[in-house]
Amino acid sequence: MSERVIPLVDQRIASLAAPVPAQPIVADGLLSDALGRPLSDLRISVTDRCNFRCNYCMPKEVFDKDYPYLPHGALLSFEEITRTAKLFVAHGVRKIRLTGGEPLLRKNIEVLIEQLAALRTPDGQPLDLTLTTNGSLLARKAKSLKAAGLKRVTVSLDGLDDAVFRAMNDVDFPVADVLEGIEAARAAGLGSGEPGHSLKINMVVKRGTNEHEILRMARHFRGTGIVLRFIEYMDVGATNGWRMDEVLPSADVVKMIRAELPLVQLDPSVPGETAERWGYADARGRHDPALGEIGVISSVTQAFCRDCNRARLSTEGKLYLCLFAGQGYDLRALIRGGASDEDIASAIGAIWQGRSDRYSELRSTLTPDTGPATRRVEMSYIGG
């Protein structure tokens, strides 16, 4: 086996200015990028810290006690996040996902949720407001999150076997506590059960590490109303030592489950959906809604850049146009420099109009010299 090289980089040093264009760009909800893609989804990282050390995201060797996490003053405050989010919503964003790091570690996160839940789209609709969490604090927080206005959550869970789970989170965290968190989220009503609005579980599949957990997970969540989604292990960041041979293609995941539990393919529930949906079939081969569905997210083997409508706001207020971008645009400098809402909205508009990112589509043609390589931003910093 070849030895892993884990480069140490600090993506936060590099950033791009977010210039205010000479011609104002009015936020009319009709923004589209250079490839004709709208802006409808915003992911906001609220902290770069985490209490887990998943090897594929924040490997212990890099994110150790000496790692220079952002100081509190560098983080966008809740007021700054809400003000920026409002401008994104005016540009067409309808869905906001809070992430991190571990978003439930951000103190008083409920206050931010309350502020975001009060936002309305230009046609007066509430946002689809959600959060991705490792579930470790969910048992404690599910009720207060729901009360603050959170609609649903996605919980990351890479296996049911306690030893496998403890090894993957690399801090010896027991799986039972996450399962308790999932139950608390369900009991609190986080996830209505309607298609697209269910409580979801994300499982990152790493060949050689947890593929034997796939069927067990499928059986566990089948018929519960919870949607289990399998995510291909991605080459995000610069520290996880990613190798293609550790990616188990989604097609193999579907094949594996199908051999035991019949599946039929379902239509996407919303345009630009990242997951391919498969429903559990009844004896006649038709989807049985009572048995539910799974999703597969093939970020590596089947790029979905064509429909990518997602922007990412980093913990310190930089706008990233792609999960694999090397640099973000410094919106915080505008916010803290006294720019007006119109100017910030114009800057966001101009940045989005110039967007042509489609890393996953190009992945196989990139070499370490032409690709973003070691300058890539860490997922814990811009959020998944």
Q: Binding segment for ligand SAM among 85-93, 95-103, 189-197, 249-257 (CB under 6 A)?
A: 95-103
Q: How far is the CB of 257 from ligand SF4 (least distance, A)?
A: 23
Partner in contact with 231, chosen from ligand SF4, ligand SAM, none, beta carbon below 5 to 8 Å by kind: ligand SAM
Minimum CB separation of residue 186 from ligand SF4 in Å reads 20
Residues near 95 by beta carbon (within 8 Å), at least 6 away in sequence: 40, 41, 42, 127, 128, 129, 130
Longest dimension (CA), the chain: 63
According to CB under 6 A, which one of 41, 102, 128, 213 is a site residue for ligand SF4? 102
Contacted entry of ligand SAM, ligand SF4, none for residue 358, CB cut-off 5 to 8 Å set by kind:
ligand SF4
Tell whether residue 379 is a contact of ligand SAM (CB under 6 A).
yes
Total residues in contact with ligand SF4, by rule CB under 6 A = 23
CB 149 within 8 A of CB 111: no
Looking at beta carbons only, is 134 or 314 nearer to ligand SF4?
A: 134
Asked if 324 interacts with ligand SF4 (CB under 6 A), we say yes
Helix axes 214-221, 250-258, angle to 10 degrees: 60
Asked if 109 is part of the footprint of ligand SAM (rule: CB under 6 A), the reply reads no
- 213 counts as binding ligand SF4 under rule CB under 6 A: no
Q: Applying CB under 6 A, which of residues 48, 102, 128, 288 lies at the interface with ligand SAM?
A: 102
209 binds, among ligand SF4, ligand SAM, none (CB under 5 to 8 A by kind): none
Contacts of residue 63, Cβ cutoff 8 Å, sequence gap at least 6:
50, 53, 239, 380
Contact between 78 and ligand SAM per CB under 6 A:
no
Which residue's CB is nearer to ligand SAM, number 209 or number 380?
380
Among 86-94, 143-151, 189-197, 321-329, which window interacts with ligand SF4 (CB under 6 A)?
321-329
Shortest Cβ 174–ligand SAM spacing (Å): 16
Tokens 């405050």, residue located: 77
The contact pattern for ligand SF4, residues 339-368, with x = CB under 6 A and - = no contact, is: ------------------xxxx--------
Q: Which does 202 bind (CB under 5 to 8 A by kind): ligand SF4, ligand SAM, none?
A: ligand SAM
* Residues pairing with 204 in the sheet: 231
47 binds ligand SAM (CB under 6 A): no
Nearest distance, CB of residue 171 and ligand SF4, angstroms: 9
**CB of residue 304 to ligand SF4, shortest distance in Å:** 5
**Contacting residue, 100, 317, 328, 372, with ligand SAM by CB under 6 A:** 100
Kindly report the length of the chain.
384
Site for ligand SF4 in 57-76 (CB under 6 A): 57-58
- Contact region with ligand SF4 (CB under 6 A), list: 114-122, 263-271, 301-309, 340-348: 301-309
With CB under 6 A as the contact rule, the residue among 113, 204, 214, 218 that binds ligand SAM is 204
Distance of CA 152 to the CA centre of its chain: 14
Query: Which residues contribute to the site for ligand SAM (CB under 6 A)?
Result: 50, 56-57, 99-100, 102, 132-134, 156, 202, 204, 231, 233-234, 236, 240, 379-380, 383-384
Query: Which residues contribute to the site for ligand SF4 (CB under 6 A)?
Result: 50, 52-54, 57-58, 100-102, 134, 156, 304-305, 308, 310, 322-324, 357-360, 380
